[in-house]
């Protein structure tokens, strides 16, 4: 029992805590209570604070307490040990600070708000400034744990009030922290802002109205610290992925600043990240409601110039540029702009897709062309405006005429005859393009293409089988939609192959589904 346990010999506690922490299954309320009946929390906390010289004890007790506080029963005890949290958040030990941050999160997740508001208790105990201190000065694990705790705190109205105070000059105001702390601290605060921004549209609105997106723009303008600028660009890449945040990002000068980085930065890695962020941002259909067309064209033009310039000899940068154009082309308005600009930026994509400029570059270009062609768009948004469609057709035929393949069907066949990665990207191109009657005619003209896409044995991976099957379905649907081609006797064989492939599904042919005997009955003499 606990009364018999002595801190003079922590071996018993160490062994029991290790068993509890390393137990392979989930620990529940009962197991947590049974453990604490043997070793009450004050005993464990006292051992954690006074026995740091015992090898392995601190790490074991931290892991044990973390699993205890993850249970509802363990979390219910936390309000009685707020002093431990205060000490833990200020501890010299990074492991103890990590545990304290995680404990705050578990408390906010599991506490019964009918008896006490957990957020109010955290605030009244003045733990929020300590969490910010862990964010700024903790190691990587502590920083992440403190962010998680603050994000969880933001889930309540009381938490929102303390995280976003009305007075901008308060020491805990995030904008004030960004302005005062070191380069590393600044990046960490901006990372917290990204986490908070992702919570909801209402929180994103508060962040925007508090001018907390301004420091991101300032960091991009700071050309003196390449490492900090790169870190902020990585955060912006995450920020651009948040669907509900597109409207707020579009109201800033972000797109203009990214275009400036692409055009003027001497660092290839910064240009590449700026292109990827621009592509991700402009891949959202709703962004075009908030940004003017000239800003979008400026961004596209900046990427276009990278591919035109000598910098395009940098394979990694070229791949980033092509991928960015592909992301832009995944939206219907972005695809139309890529094809209607003068000269059309999509020409780089189409040329690189079939010119075999290098494996990585061709792969990026093929996937980009698949996006522009509409493979990733809803069925009713595949076909573009008349001018854009004509530009797409002209660019495909021009590229074919300048190659040894001579025809679009020859280009596609050469792609489908390459390695698996290139072939899968080729399937995506066909899937998007085949909706267009002129391209369907090209597919019809090469029986070898039909043979490849209908052969269930061509692909051996699950994703490969699924992409090939989707391609089959698209070609078959295009055939069925064309009364002229579906009734053409010369294409009857192709139609039959497509029908059978669609019927058999993506994974196995009918023959492969048949059970094969592995033994035979013994012969009798």
- Tally Cβ neighbours within 10 Å of residue 402: 12
Q: Indicate the DSSP class of residue 156.
A: S
pLDDT of amino acid 525: 38
The rounded percent of the chain whose pLDDT value lies above 70 is 92
Q: What is the pLDDT of residues 257-280, one digit of tens each?
A: 999 999 998 889 999 999 999 999
* C-alpha–C-alpha distance, residues 519 and 513, integer Å: 18
Out of 207-211, 221-225, 512-516, give the one with best mean pLDDT: 207-211
Looking at 43-52, 188-197, 442-451, which range is the least confident one? 43-52
- Tally Cβ neighbours within 10 Å of residue 160: 18
Q: How confident is the model at residue 339 (pLDDT cuts 50, 70, 90)?
A: very high
Cβ burial 180-192 (10 Å sphere, 16+ → b, else e)? ebeeebbbbbbbb
| pLDDT higher than threshold 80 for residue 22 | yes
Q: Find out whether 235 and 229 touch, Cβ atoms under 8 Å.
A: no
In angstroms, the Cα distances linking 147 to 94, 104, 163, 449 are 15, 11, 12, 52
User: What average pLDDT does this structure show over 121-130?
Assistant: 90
Q: Find out whether 61 and 48 touch, Cβ atoms under 8 Å.
A: yes
* C-alpha–C-alpha distance, residues 373 and 387, integer Å: 14
Domains of the chain: 1-163 (1.25.10.10)
Q: What is the pLDDT of residues 389-411, one digit of tens each?
A: 999 999 999 999 988 878 999 99
pLDDT of amino acid 1: 40
């Amino acid at each position: 029992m606990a009364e018999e346990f002595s801190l003079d010999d922590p071996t018993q506690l160490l062994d029991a805590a290790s068993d509890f922490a390393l137990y392979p299954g989930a620990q529940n309320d009962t197991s947590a209570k049974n453990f604490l009946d043997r070793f009450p929390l004050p005993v464990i906390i006292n051992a954690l604070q006074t026995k740091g010289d015992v090898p392995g004890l601190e790490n074991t007790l931290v892991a044990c307490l973390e699993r205890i506080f993850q249970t509802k029963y363990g979390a219910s005890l936390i309000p009685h040990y707020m002093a431990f949290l205060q000490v833990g958040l200020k501890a010299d030990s990074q492991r103890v600070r990590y545990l304290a941050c995680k404990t705050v999160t578990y408390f906010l997740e599991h506490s019964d708000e009918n008896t006490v508001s957990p957020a109010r208790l955290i605030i009244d105990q003045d733990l929020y400034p300590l969490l910010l201190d862990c964010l700024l000065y903790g190691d990587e694990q502590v920083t992440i744990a403190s962010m998680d705790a603050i994000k969880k705190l933001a889930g309540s109205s009381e938490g929102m009030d303390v995280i976003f105070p009305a007075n901008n000059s308060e020491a805990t105001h995030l904008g004030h922290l960004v302005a005062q702390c070191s380069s590393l601290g600044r990046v960490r605060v901006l990372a917290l802002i990204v986490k908070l921004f992702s919570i909801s549209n209402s929180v994103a609105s508060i962040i925007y109205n508090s001018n907390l997106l301004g420091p991101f723009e300032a960091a991009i303008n700071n050309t003196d610290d390449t490492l900090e600028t790169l870190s902020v660009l990585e955060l912006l890449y995450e920020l651009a992925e948040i669907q509900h945040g597109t409207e707020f990002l579009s109201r800033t000068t972000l797109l203009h600043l990214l275009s400036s980085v692409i055009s003027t930065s001497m660092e290839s890695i910064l240009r590449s990240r700026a292109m990827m962020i621009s592509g991700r941002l402009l891949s959202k259909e709703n962004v075009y409601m908030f940004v003017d067309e000239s800003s979008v064209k400026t961004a596209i033009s900046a990427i276009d110039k990278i591919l035109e310039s000598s910098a395009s000899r940098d394979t990694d940068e070229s791949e980033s540029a092509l991928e960015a154009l592909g992301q832009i082309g995944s939206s219907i308005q972005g695809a139309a702009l890529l094809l209607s600009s003068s000269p059309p930026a999509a020409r780089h994509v189409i040329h690189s897709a079939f010119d075999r400029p290098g494996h990585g570059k061709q792969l990026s270009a093929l996937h980009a062309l698949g996006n522009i062609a509409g493979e990733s768009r809803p069925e009713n948004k595949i076909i573009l405006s008349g001018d854009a469609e004509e530009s797409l057709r002209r660019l495909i035929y021009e590229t074919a005429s300048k190659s040894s393949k001579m025809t679009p069907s020859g280009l596609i066949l050469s792609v489908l005859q390459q390695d698996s990665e290139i072939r899968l990207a080729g399937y995506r191109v066909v899937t998007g393009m085949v909706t267009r009657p002129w391209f369907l005619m090209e597919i019809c003209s090469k029986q070898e293409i039909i043979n490849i896409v209908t052969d269930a044995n061509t692909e051996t991976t699950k994703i490969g089988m699924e992409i090939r099957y989707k391609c089959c379905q698209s070609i078959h649907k295009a055939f069925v939609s064309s009364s002229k081609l579906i009734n053409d006797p010369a294409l009857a064989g192709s139609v039959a192959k497509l029908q059978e492939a669609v019927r058999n599904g993506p994974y196995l042919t009918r023959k492969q589904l048949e059970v094969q005997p592995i033994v035979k009955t013994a012969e009798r003499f």
